Structure 1
Amino acid sequence: MHEKIITFASPIFFILIALEFVVARKRQRHLYRINDSLNSLSLGVMSQIIGAFSKLFSIGMYALVLKHLSLFSLPSDSVWVWISALLLYDFLYYWLHRMGHQTNLLWAAHVVHHQSEQYNLSTALRQTSTGPLFGWIFYLPMALIGFPLEVFIAVALIDLLYQFWVHTEQIGKLGWFDRVFVSPSNHRVHHAVNDMYLDKNFGGILVVWDRLFGTFIEELDHVDIVYGTRKPLRSWNPLWANLEVYEQVWRDAWHTKSWLDKLQIWLRPPGWRPADLMAQSAASTFDIHRPTYDPVMSKATTWYCIVQFILLLQAATHYLIVYKSISALNAAIYLSWLVMGLWCIGGLMERGRIYLLPETLRILCILMMNLLTASWFYSFALSTPVQALLTATCLISLAGLWLIFSRQKTHGHLPH
């Protein structure tokens, strides 16, 4: 249910993003860069298609605890159950979010949402693909109390959808609203890397939790907010965006000699390193005035990546609607093809000529599947007109790909 509602809400998200883009241009505030926005949207798409499987685990754990360990059986038709569920969920989200900034294990998942050096509505859709691995633990008190599964899923969706609109610089301070609810003003602070703003304003819907537990700070008019992370990603690769912190922490855990440090590094704050590794190399310093990551893209590159992303977005929407009705093997192949496409787009935006081969193979897979099986991922028969359209799309894509990228100087590389 969750992914389908997000899927059908996506057109509204894109309309609002377009509206914000127009307003920003009229105000002479160009807050969108194609490469950054495509990267954020790619990460959002990836989180949804991978989350279609990973969220089954987190929801399954909630259902298991609810069935065997719940203290009460709360009715799903009570208004007070819904209100209290939303309040409790938001309270627990505050602590998950706060711990997500204070422990490496959770930061490794949450960092994805903070990597963009822009702040606009596309940033709201920039979500992690690994969050469901551990985040479910924080919501088990709701299952123990006995909130029904459908209530839990619904309030989680409400909390998530609410947070979309606060990712904008086009809405200023809102007076009393800023003191009670999460708003664009105090959420801008949360995304800042300025020293005074770091690790503040963790609330989802209510900022009251931050006021109660000492993590609230008001946005100051005279301070220019700088967005991103203290260790900038500097890549458009959506796979690397999801794995960079895991890789960094794993590498340190592997090389440190202390077994205690190998374990505790996962629960330590981001940036913490074992003493023996600190002695070997000095900690890197953060430059708040660093240049924004923005590799040059030609118009042809830009349009190729935009068109391919739009095509992948349609395929991802189809996948989220049908994945439960096809075999697990075909769903896995379909998912892998989608992820590969998002990975290739990120690499091509970095002018990575080495992505020519995987992008060619991705398109050829569809072309050959279309011509040899007359089906879409061996699950949906294609009519003759659709086959012809798909063949033409693949051939045009291949021609455009090689004409645009085969002579470009390389910039990107496989790890990033």
Structure 2
Amino acid sequence: MQEQVITIASPIFILLIIIEMFIAFRRGKSNFHFSDTINSMSLGMLSQITSAFLKLFLIGIYAWVAHNFALFKLPNAWWVWVAGLLVYDFLYYWLHRSGHEIAVLWAAHVVHHQSERYNLTTALRQTSSGPLLAWIFYLPLAILGVPIEMFIAISLIDLLYQFWVHTELIGKLGWFDRVFVSPSNHRVHHATNDIYLDKNYGGILILWDRLFGTFIEEMDEHKVVYGTRSPLRSWNPVKANIEVYQAIIRDAKRASNWTDKIRIWFKHPGWQPTDVAQQFPHAPFILHRPNFEPVLPTSWKCYCGAQFLLILSITTHFLAVDRTISFANCALYGFWLGAGLLILGGLTERRSNYLWLESIRLILTAGFVLFTGNWFGEFALPALGQGAVLFVTMSSLLSLVVLFKGANLNSNLQQKS
């Protein structure tokens, strides 16, 4: 259900993003950067792809707990919906807050904060590993007897609400800012400034932050600086999802004390055992630093933009059919999409080895369709469909030849000032 709603809502999201781009351009604001936009949306797509394999596990746990341990059998009444949404938002506050205070949860949530820009595409920048532990926080709803269908719908309402608050184009909203999560409130949450750090966790209601002492108002004298205090500096969507896990594992291996090897997963993000901190201290945090924005020539932007739109449209098909095809073919389909997004990230960094990987991906895609006559073993392609796939892959390969010839591979990470 969630994937279906997200798929239906995607055109609306894209339309609103285009409108935001237009308004920002008219106002002379530099809210968007090509590669950052592609990266944020790619991470959202990757999150939806992985959820296709996790949803049965997660929904199954909720359904099992609700069936075996529910205290009440709640009716499908308006007051249950309202109460359910309030309780969900309260639990979301604690999940979100824990995601900033516990390292293993931050390792998943960090994906949403890595962008050094702030716009509606940031809302789509979601983790692929978060659901593995997030379900624990919502078990009280199952114990209270909230039906699983209602739980899924409520979670979607809370998630969809949060889309519009990821913008710099809407200022303060008076009384609304004091009750609800608003763009101003949520900009603060994405800040790396010391004064704003780890504040404003609410999903729909900012009242939870006011109640539990984590609220702060956006201040004109402290302009928000976005990103994370240990910047990713990459457009690689896989690296974005595993960077903090890797850092925790690395420090856990370095720690001499076995207690510290376990504690590091549950301490505040960035915590290091004493012996590790002495030998491998973290780099000092610099608030005002140049954004990670490698220069990308127009030809590369055209190719990456075209491939992104193609993968986006195919991902929509994947999400529509993932429940109807075999697990093996679904896994192969998902892997192919994930590989495309990974390679796209490398191309937006203008890395030469990803040109070769993209060539291999295109050749394998064309070869598979040519020799099997179907799409990932499930969907028979008529001659016209096979011709369309071959035309796109061959045209893409010819475009790559142009990129190979025109690439200045020695300056693939040249930075904008």
The TM-score normalised by the length of structure 2 is 0.97
Offset of residue 220 of structure 1: 0.7
Q: 1:364 is aligned with what amino acid?
A: I
Aligned residues: 412
* 8 A contact 2:47–2:128 mirrored in 1: yes
SS of corresponding position for 2:276? helix
Query: Which residue is equivalent to 1:363?
Result: 362
Offset of residue 281 of structure 1: 3.0
Map 1:166-177; keep pairs closer than 5 Å.
166-177=165-176
Query: Which residue is equivalent to 1:35?
Result: 35
Map 1:17-416; keep pairs closer than 5 Å.
17-75=17-75, 77-405=76-404, 407-410=407-410
Q: 2:239 is aligned with what amino acid?
A: W
Offset of residue 71 of structure 1: 1.0
SS of corresponding position for 1:294? coil
Structure 2: gaps spanning 5 or more residues = none
Please say if 1:15 is aligned against 2:15: yes
* 8 A contact 2:294–2:412 mirrored in 1: no
| RMSD of equivalent CA atoms | 1.1
Offset of residue 408 of structure 1: 3.3
CA deviation vs aligned residue, 1:221-261 (integer Å, no higher than 9, x gap): 22211000000000000000000000000111111011110
Give, in whole Å, the separation in 2 of the partners of 1:271 and 1:225.
21
Give, in whole Å, the separation in 1 of the partners of 2:404 and 2:61.
46
Give, in whole Å, the separation in 1 of the partners of 2:274 and 2:411.
36
Give, in whole Å, the separation in 2 of the partners of 1:342 and 1:16.
23
CA deviation vs aligned residue, 1:22-53 (integer Å, no higher than 9, x gap): 00011110211100000000000000011111
Give, in whole Å, the separation in 2 of the partners of 1:405 and 1:249.
38
Give, in whole Å, the separation in 2 of the partners of 1:111 and 1:218.
22
Offset of residue 157 of structure 1: 0.3
Going from structure 1 to structure 2, the CA distance change for 1:104 and 1:252 (only over 3 Å counts) comes to same
Offset of residue 385 of structure 1: 1.5
Offset of residue 357 of structure 1: 2.3
* 8 A contact 2:199–2:215 mirrored in 1: yes
Structure 1: gaps spanning 5 or more residues = none
Offset of residue 200 of structure 1: 0.3
CA deviation vs aligned residue, 1:266-297 (integer Å, no higher than 9, x gap): 00011100011012133321111111000010
Offset of residue 410 of structure 1: 4.9
Offset of residue 55 of structure 1: 2.4
* 8 A contact 1:201–1:210 mirrored in 2: yes
* 8 A contact 1:352–1:410 mirrored in 2: no
SS of corresponding position for 2:260? helix
Give, in whole Å, the separation in 2 of the partners of 1:113 and 1:273.
23
CA deviation vs aligned residue, 1:122-163 (integer Å, no higher than 9, x gap): 000000000111000000011111110011000000000000
Give, in whole Å, the separation in 2 of the partners of 1:398 and 1:171.
43
SS of corresponding position for 1:206? coil
* 8 A contact 1:199–1:215 mirrored in 2: yes
Q: 1:408 is aligned with what amino acid?
A: N
Aligned identity (percent) is 55
Q: 2:60 is aligned with what amino acid?
A: G
Give, in whole Å, the separation in 1 of the partners of 2:410 and 2:241.
23
* 8 A contact 1:356–1:402 mirrored in 2: no
Give, in whole Å, the separation in 2 of the partners of 1:283 and 1:7.
40
Give, in whole Å, the separation in 2 of the partners of 1:2 and 1:176.
32
* 8 A contact 2:181–2:205 mirrored in 1: yes
Q: 2:92 is aligned with what amino acid?
A: Y
Give, in whole Å, the separation in 2 of the partners of 1:46 and 1:295.
22
* 8 A contact 1:112–1:127 mirrored in 2: yes
* 8 A contact 1:350–1:411 mirrored in 2: no
Give, in whole Å, the separation in 2 of the partners of 1:101 and 1:402.
45
Moved over 6 A (4+): none
* 8 A contact 1:167–1:188 mirrored in 2: yes
Going from structure 1 to structure 2, the CA distance change for 1:412 and 1:94 (only over 3 Å counts) comes to farther
